[in-house]
Amino acid sequence: MTTRYDADRSAVAELLADQPAYRVGQVWDGLYRRLLDPGDMTDVPNALRQRLAHELPPALQPGVETVSDGGNTVKWLWRLADGTGVETVLMHYGDRTTVCVSSQAGCAMGCAFCATGQAGFERNLSIGEIVEQVVRAARRALPRRLSNVVFMGMGEPLANFERVWAAIGRLHHDLGLSARHLTVSTIGMGHGIDRLAGADLPVNLAVSLHAANDALRDRLVPLNRRYPLAALNAACERYVAATRRRLSFEWALIDATNDRPSDAAELAELARPLRAHVNLIPLNPTPGYATPGTPPAGVAAFCRRLRALGITTTVRRNRGTGIDAACGQLAAGPRRGDQGRTVRLSPARMASTSTSPRRTTPPGHTTDRTSSPSTTAPGPTTEAPPDAVRLAAR
Ligand code: SAH
Ligand code: SF4
């Protein structure tokens, strides 16, 4: 049985073959424009609503929902039909509302510093599993309008290109999101970057660089051995030449590893000819990587240095570190007993679940708490026992 957002328009038309023709548009509009469950489509006869609810089941079963940053960050752990877990993060900012979606359950790229990479690969997500993450987030965001989608959750989007691209088509054509507000982040799959360069929607490209010499990048990003910097740079050049779009480099700042003046100089050499924008992200802690992120003063100094070298640079505001919802912290482990729970984290509870700024738990456990989530989340709430928020437990 196809899931609600895996069904394309012709599949929905087939399901509605016994209905008047206008029903197809009505149901499609209900799913994509009005973000409705079939059961809530009151303009459709009741019997048909029930049939659709049954024949177009959701792909995502609610697992744990965790709210932090005064209600401005929401992380979901979803269960898929085969029991796999994936995570989605919704973030409200002053001027926009962004959802960070997963493209794969786990990731095969094995980047040392990333919780998803540490957990390994499970499988590619389907079109519907990707689109439904956005729909659920858009519904949760109301009355605010979901404005941006970033493929920066679990997985390497360009390793699941076909489905990711089909999902992007739905987000653009059917959900009505502007291509300029959709961002694909890649660890540097040259082949995928070339495909993106030839694609017909002008989405943004972010390349997770993290090191600008091969010796260091080989250590941090195993894929660099297949696409060394010269090959990655060439793919970026082709992308910029073909699209005339500005790309951005993501750089997770790791203490005494890639935050030295020489790193800034090498990065500037790569970024300048491409006119790339650099996003600095202080490394978020993950269970399997001991080196901490660059301290704030070092982040500011690295940023100043890059700017002095003529590179447009921003420091990404950290969101959701307290609930392991930040970049590189997503790693959903199987928890069978976690259905439908909302966790609203209070500062006191956070304090009691904190250990130290550095992890002492085995790989996969997430007990670090570095920010103070607040308690203003709407909706049903259960006070969480400490391990209810350890979404990454494997
Ligand atoms: N696989 C893709 C997209 C998902 S990762 C990619 O790597 O680009 C999303 C972003 O988080 C990437 O820029 C990634 O390099 C970064 N990241 C991974 N682990 C991190 C960590 N521990 N702290 C900060 N950023 C991290
Ligand atoms: Fe995969 Fe991206 Fe994490 Fe690397 S940083 S392991 S590519 S999700």
At which of 57, 86, 102 does a domain end? 57
CB burial readout 26-40, b (16+ within 10 A) else e: bbbebbbeebbbbee
What separation in Å is there between the alpha carbon of 208 and the centre of ligand 1?
A: 7
Gap between the Cα atoms of 125 and 151, Å rounded? 12
Q: Which ligand is nearest to the CA of 119?
A: 2
The reply to whether 157 and 15 lie within a common domain is: no
Average pLDDT over residues 87-93: 96
- Yes or no: say if 91 and 141 are a contact pair by the CB < 8 Å rule: no
Ligand 2 contact, 187 CB (< 6 A):
yes
Q: What is the CATH number of the domain that holds 100?
A: 3.20.20.70
Angle at 30 between CA 29 and CA 35, to 5 degrees: 110
Q: Are 377 and 235 found together in one domain?
A: yes
Ligand 1 binding site (Cβ under 6 Å of any ligand atom): 113-114, 152, 156, 185-187, 208, 250, 252, 281, 283-284, 286, 327-328
Interval 132-161 mean pLDDT: 98
Q: Which of 10, 25, 57 is the last residue of a domain?
A: 57
Length of the chain: 394
* Domain range enclosing 28: 1-57
Asked which of 57, 82, 105 is the last residue of a domain, the reply is 57
Separation CA 129–CA 65 (nearest Å): 17
* Active-site amino acid positions: 87, 327
Q: How confident is the model at residue 14 (pLDDT cuts 50, 70, 90)?
A: very high
CB 179 within 8 Å of CB 203: yes
CA 22, 23, 26, 27 dihedral sign is negative
Q: What is the pLDDT of residues 199-226, one digit of tens each?
A: 999 999 999 999 999 999 999 999 999 9
Which residue type sits at 286? T
Question: What DSSP string runs through 342-393?
Answer: EEE--HHHHHHH---SS--SPTT------S---S---S--BPPPGGGG-TT-
Residue 244: the pLDDT is: 92
For the residues 68-82, what does the mean pLDDT come to? 95
Strand-pair partners of 253: 282
Largest CA distance in the chain: 68
Give the model's confidence band at 363: pLDDT under 50 very low, under 70 low, under 90 confident, else very high.
very low
Q: What number is the average pLDDT over the span 148-176?
A: 98
Do residues 7 and 144 both lie within one domain? no
Q: Is the CB of 206 under 6 A from ligand 2?
A: no
Here the CATH number for the domain that contains residue 8 is 1.10.150.530
215 with 81, same domain: the answer is yes
- By alpha-carbon position, which residue is closest to atom 11 of ligand 1? 327
Provide the domain count of the chain: 2
- For the chain, how far is it from start to end, CA to CA, in angstroms? 29
Query: Using CA atoms, how far apart are residues 110 and 117, in angstroms rounded to an integer?
Result: 4
Residue 218 — φ and ψ, nearest 5°?
Answer: -55, -35
Region 154-173 average pLDDT: 98
SS3 assignment, position 104: strand
Amino acid at 319: R
Which pLDDT belongs to residue 1? 72
* pLDDT surpassing 70 at residue 73: yes
CA-to-CA separations, 356 to 35, 253, 319, 367, 370, in angstroms, rounded? 42, 20, 19, 8, 9
Q: 6: exposed, middle or buried (C-beta count within 10 Å: 0-12, 13-18, 19+)? A: buried
Q: Helix 296-308 vs helix 261-274: angle between axes, to the nearest 10 degrees?
A: 40
User: For ligand 1, atom 21, which residue shows the shortest CA distance?
Assistant: 328
Residue with the nearest Cα to atom 4 of ligand 2? 111
Whole-model pTM?
0.86
The H-or-E segment that residue 148 falls in is: strand 148-151
Residue 237: phi and psi, rounded to 5, are -60, -45
- Pairwise CA distance, residues 103 & 83, whole Å: 16
pLDDT tens, residue by residue, 33-50: 999 999 999 999 999 999
Regarding whether 36 and 152 lie in a shared domain, the answer is no
Distance 256 CA to ligand 2 centre (A): 21
Say whether pLDDT at 140 is over 50: yes
Q: Is residue 265 predicted with pLDDT exceeding 80?
A: yes
Q: What is the pLDDT of residue 322?
A: 65
CA of 154, closest atom in ligand 2: 8
Residues 6 and 128 in one domain: no
Instruction: Based on the fold, state whether residues 195 and 50 are members of the same structural domain.
Output: no
Give distance in angstroms: CA of 152 to centre of ligand 1. 7
On average, the pLDDT of the chain sits at: 85
Same domain, 340 and 313: yes
Q: Which of 133, 150, 152 has most ligand 1 atoms within 8 Å of its beta carbon, as the pocket-test mutant? A: 152
Q: Which two tokens stand for residue 107?
A: 């990731």
- Separation of CA 117 and ligand 2 centre (Å): 5
Same domain assignment for residues 12 and 153:
no
> Are residues 70 and 184 located together in one domain of the fold?
yes
**Position of tokens 């005494």?**
256
pLDDT tier at 374 (50, 70, 90 boundaries)? Answer: very low
Structure tokens at 370: 């570095």
281 CA from centroid of ligand 2 (Å): 14
Whose tokens are 């090498």? That residue is 266
Same domain, yes or no: 1 and 76:
no
Comparing C-alpha atoms, which of 5, 4, 35 is closest to residue 176? 35
Instruction: Assess whether 285 and 250 both reside in one domain.
Output: yes
Q: Which atom of ligand 1 is nearest to the CA of 186?
A: 8
Cα 91 to ligand 1 centroid, rounded to whole Å: 16
Nearest CA owner, ligand 2 atom 8: 155
Q: What pLDDT shows up at residue 303?
A: 98
Ligand sitting nearest the alpha carbon of 109:
2
